[in-house]
Amino acid sequence: MIDTVENKIFTKIKKAKRGTLFFSDNFISFGSAETVRRTLNRLVEKGELDRVSQGIFFRPQIDDIIGKITPKVEDIAEAIARRDKAKIVPTGAYALNRLGLSMQVPMNIVYLTDGSARKVKVGNYTISFIRTSPKNVAAIGKTSRLAIQALKIIGKDNVSQAEIEHIQNILLKEKIAYLEHDLRIAPAWIKEIIRYSLEKLKNNEQR
């Protein structure tokens, strides 16, 4: 019975590309929770899987030069969000770091979510999901949602002109449709910062 479960799980893992993240729940149809847990532990011992956190695994991807490539924090967070069918957005010091506004890499990576609040330990890092209202995770642009959160953290009265210009330049990489959407849901003072980038993008498109 256990060998059959292991074969089924290993077959599913091999079909996915290396680096793919898996959750214990992905294999629950193959056997009981305890059987699946023991099987995943054996596959970790054999080197077929690596454990990212409790109940989260990935199939190791090996680079000829740097060796094993581990999943990025944002990839893990987004995989959890997809599993939970939730929306997430980076916030706090992590949002500032992602935008290049801070060199500090926080040990506690914070995401706002409309899903369940939880903490996931990944190596030396902790990914914290803080439940919020849907409107706070409604932005759809990867860059613009970061910009909105970063500006909220800095604050209207504390943001410098250099920081505004830095964000506006980064927003030029965002899709126009995403900026148009996120402009509508941003706080009034942030709208003006986004609008500058949006108008510049539209002008460049018309040339």
Residue 114 has what pLDDT? Answer: 97
Q: Give yes or no for residue 6 having a pLDDT over 70.
A: yes
Residue 192 has what pLDDT? Answer: 96
Ordered alpha helix ranges (H), the chain? 2-15, 33-45, 73-84, 92-98, 142-154, 161-171, 176-185, 188-206
Please give the Cα distance from 129 to 132 (Å, whole number).
Answer: 9
Answer whether 54's CB lies under 8 Å from 110's CB: no
Answer whether 14's CB lies under 8 Å from 43's CB: no
* Least confident interval from 57-71, 83-97, 159-173: 57-71
Kindly compute the dihedral angle of the four CA atoms of residues 183, 187, 191, 194, in this order, to the nearest 10 degrees: -70
For 171-182, how does the pLDDT look when each residue is reduced to its tens digit (9 = 90+)? Answer: 999 999 999 999
* pLDDT-derived band at 51, boundaries 50, 70, 90: very high
Q: Average pLDDT of 119-124? A: 92
For 66-75, how does the pLDDT look when each residue is reduced to its tens digit (9 = 90+)? Answer: 888 889 999 9
Q: Give yes or no for residue 83 having a pLDDT over 90.
A: yes
Please give the Cα distance from 199 to 207 (Å, whole number).
Answer: 13
Tokens of 7: 């074969």
Residue 19 has what pLDDT? Answer: 87
Q: Average pLDDT of 84-112? A: 95
Q: Give yes or no for residue 195 having a pLDDT over 90.
A: yes
* Least confident interval from 45-49, 86-90, 147-151, 197-201: 45-49
Q: What is the pTM of this model?
A: 0.88
Q: Find out if CATH 1.20.1440.230 is the number for domain 2-67.
A: no
Domain parsing of the chain, residue ranges: 2-67, 139-207
Please give the Cα distance from 32 to 6 (Å, whole number).
Answer: 12
Q: Average pLDDT of 79-95? A: 95
Residue 3 has what pLDDT? Answer: 61
Please give the Cα distance from 158 to 151 (Å, whole number).
Answer: 9
For 17-32, how does the pLDDT look when each residue is reduced to its tens digit (9 = 90+)? Answer: 888 999 999 999 998 8
Please give the Cα distance from 161 to 98 (Å, whole number).
Answer: 19
Please give the Cα distance from 183 to 181 (Å, whole number).
Answer: 6
